[in-house]
């Protein structure tokens, strides 16, 4: 059985200790929300593999989880460097005007003057605010990469149906 409409929410990075624990880099806010989205799905060369966790702890080195029926370091190593996906339906609903990062990726960014700047390739968290990473494509003004702060001053609207983000941004920035 494969997940329905999977969304990447984190990554298993490395083993931790000798009893099957792994370190997880979570893309959720707060970081430990990732453990509430069960089951986890990992992409393999043969398709998808469902895994579950039975323990979790936050440490100074990050979020550590124990995988069900994985009780030694060598078993745990096979799961490292793999993205963690969950079914989109398991994510909580958001308030109007709020978006998950995965919803913004791939949207076309257009200025108030109608100039296409490119598509959102990713987002970055800077501490002060999130930043849209916009890469120029064949349909855009140029091939330049632009970093646009995701704040109301610059991002005027998001239209998921039209797959577009309207920005107040000078293309020369």
CA distance 59 to 161: 41
One fold for both 6-90 and 101-167? no
Topology of the domain covering 6-90: Elongation Factor Tu (Ef-tu); domain 3 (2.40.30)
- CB of 91 closer than 8 Å to CB of 75: no
Which residue ranges make up each domain of the chain?
A: 6-90, 101-167
Distance set, CA 57 to CA 22, 33, 34, 67, 118 (Å)? 11, 12, 12, 12, 40
Reference 55, options 88, 27, 84, 16; nearest CA is: 16
Is pLDDT above 80 for 2? no
The pLDDT tens digits of the residues spanning 64-94 come to 999 999 999 999 999 999 999 999 888 888 8
Q: What is the pLDDT of residue 44?
A: 83
The CATH number that domain 101-167 falls under is 2.30.30.240
Q: pTM here?
A: 0.75
Distance set, CA 149 to CA 108, 131, 168 (Å)? 15, 4, 11
The pLDDT tens digits of the residues spanning 19-62 come to 999 999 998 888 889 999 989 999 888 889 999 999 999 988 88
- CB of 166 closer than 8 Å to CB of 107: no
């Amino acid at each position: 059985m494969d997940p329905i409409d999977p969304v990447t929410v984190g990554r298993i990075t490395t083993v931790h200790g000798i009893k099957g624990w792994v370190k997880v880099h979570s893309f959720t806010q707060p970081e430990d929300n990732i453990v509430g989205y069960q089951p986890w799905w990992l992409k393999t060369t043969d398709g998808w593999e469902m895994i579950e966790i039975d323990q979790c702890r936050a440490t100074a080195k990050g979020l550590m989880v124990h995988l069900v029926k994985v009780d030694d370091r060598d078993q745990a190593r096979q799961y490292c460097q793999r993205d963690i996906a969950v079914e989109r339906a398991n994510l909580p609903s958001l308030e109007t005007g709020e978006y998950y990062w995965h919803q913004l990726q791939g949207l076309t960014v257009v200025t108030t003057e109608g100039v296409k700047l490119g598509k959102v390739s990713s987002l970055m968290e800077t501490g002060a605010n999130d930043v849209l990473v916009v890469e120029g494509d064949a349909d855009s003004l140029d091939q330049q990469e632009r970093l646009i702060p995701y704040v109301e001053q610059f991002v005027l609207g998001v239209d998921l149906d039209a797959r577009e983000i309207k920005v107040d941004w000078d293309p020369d920035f």
